Structure 1
């Protein structure tokens, strides 16, 4: 039974509105960024009053935290649903492809901002931190396994590989390739994956 099957009509309506609010916040964050986004922007986008918005989220920090939690939950669910026989580097590649497609469709990157204020806000959100630590632990395990299998450069520290991997989800090259190179989303995803896992050097035969 789905979660909606266990909720009353009133609770279902509340949950649907909350999903719409998170969708709107995600779009605005992707286009304007945290500092320029306002609760008025979100309420207008959803078509509700600001008091109604505050029934769901008490502040902008609370709303942005919920949007990031939803992203991380989506990543964790995606990893859980991958085929069991897919190897470590295949899992890393599949998750990055998923993250790039989420971003190209207007979603958020795993690393949400270079702003110290945003980072500090998120690190105070226990629900967010708990999920990020879980995702980071899974990915760090995949990196270590892939290195042992010879699929990743064993001379690189795990954290160098891991944070380089995270950074691909917020690489501005994605926007530049779409706007200036006129590449479609499929080509962008394919090339970004190749650059991440193969580099830009000439492949040795």
Structure 2
């Protein structure tokens, strides 16, 4: 049974509106960024009044935090759906491909990389911090396993690989390649994966 089967009609409608608000906020954030985004923008995007919006989210910080938590939930769900026989390197590559598709399809930018104010705001959000720590622990383990199995260069500190991996997910080259190089999305994803992992593989191996 779906979650909606357990909800009353009123609760179901409330949940659907909340999802629509998060979708709208995501679009505004992707277009304008955190500093320029306003609650009026989000309300106008979805076609509801600002008082109605505040019934769901009491502030811009709370709304953006919810958007980021939903993004992290998407990453965790993606990892949970990986085939059990995949190697750590295959799992890392698949998650990065997913993250790049989110961005190229107009998804939420990786806001913590944009400003100290955004980072400080998110660091106060317990739900966000909990999800970040869970995801980071999983990725750190995969990196270390890939190094142990000879899939990634064991001579590099695992933190160097991990944070380089994170950097690729918010690399501005993605938007530049789309806008100025006029590359197709699939081409951008393929090249970004090659650039990322080609520089991490042990000597003598190539990322194809």
Q: TM-score range by the shorter chain?
A: over 0.9
Mapping of residues 125-136 of structure 1, within 5 Å? 125-136=125-136
Question: Residue 28 of structure 2 contacts residue 37 of structure 2 at CA under 8 Å; is this kept in 1?
Answer: yes
Q: Which residue of 2 aligns with 1:158?
A: 158
Structure-1 residue corresponding to 2:103: 103
Deviation readout 1:127-183 (Å, 9 max, x if unpaired): 000010000000000000001111111121111111111111111111111111111
Q: Distance in 2 between matches of 1:38 and 1:107?
A: 18
Q: Specify the alignment match of 2:84 in structure 1.
A: 84
Mapped contact 1:111–1:169 kept (Cα < 8 A): no
Q: How does 1:1-205 map to 2 (within 5 A)?
A: 1-110=1-110, 112-199=112-199
TM-score, normalisation: structure 2: 0.94
Q: How many angstroms apart in 1 are the aligned matches of 2:170 and 2:74?
A: 17
SS across alignment from 2:41: helix
Decide whether the 8 Å contact of 2:65 with 2:125 is kept in 1: yes
Q: Distance in 1 between matches of 2:72 and 2:163?
A: 16
- The unaligned stretches of length 5 or more in structure 1 are none
| Distance in structure 2 (CA, Å) of the matches to 1:111 and 1:55 | 24
CA contact (8 A) 1:139 1:162 kept: yes
SS at match of 1:190: helix
Q: TM-score, normalised by structure 1?
A: 0.95
CA distance, structure 2, for counterparts of residue 65 and residue 154 of structure 1: 36
Q: CA deviation at 1:33?
A: 0.7
Cα distance 1:4–1:23, how it changes in 2: closer, same or farther (>3 A)?
Answer: same
Q: 2: distance between equivalents of 1:156 and 1:204?
A: 15
Would the alpha carbon gap of residues 38 and 57 (structure 1) be closer, same or farther in structure 2, given more than 3 Å must change? same
State the aligned residue count.
203
Moved more, 37-46 or 24-33: 24-33
- Once the two structures are overlaid, the 10-residue window that deviates more, 128-137 or 4-13, is 4-13
SS for the counterpart of 1:167 is helix
Superposition RMSD on alpha carbons, in Å? 1.5
Output one character per residue of 1:18-57: Cα deviation in whole Å (capped at 9) or x when no partner: 0111011111111111000000000000100000000000
Deviation at 1:113, TM superposition (A): 3.1
Q: 1:96-152 CA distances to partner (integer Å, 9 max, x unpaired)? A: 000100111111244543311110110100000001000000000000000111111
Judged with a 3 Å threshold, the aligned counterparts in structure 2 of structure 1 residues 111 and 137 are, in CA distance, closer, same or farther, namely: farther
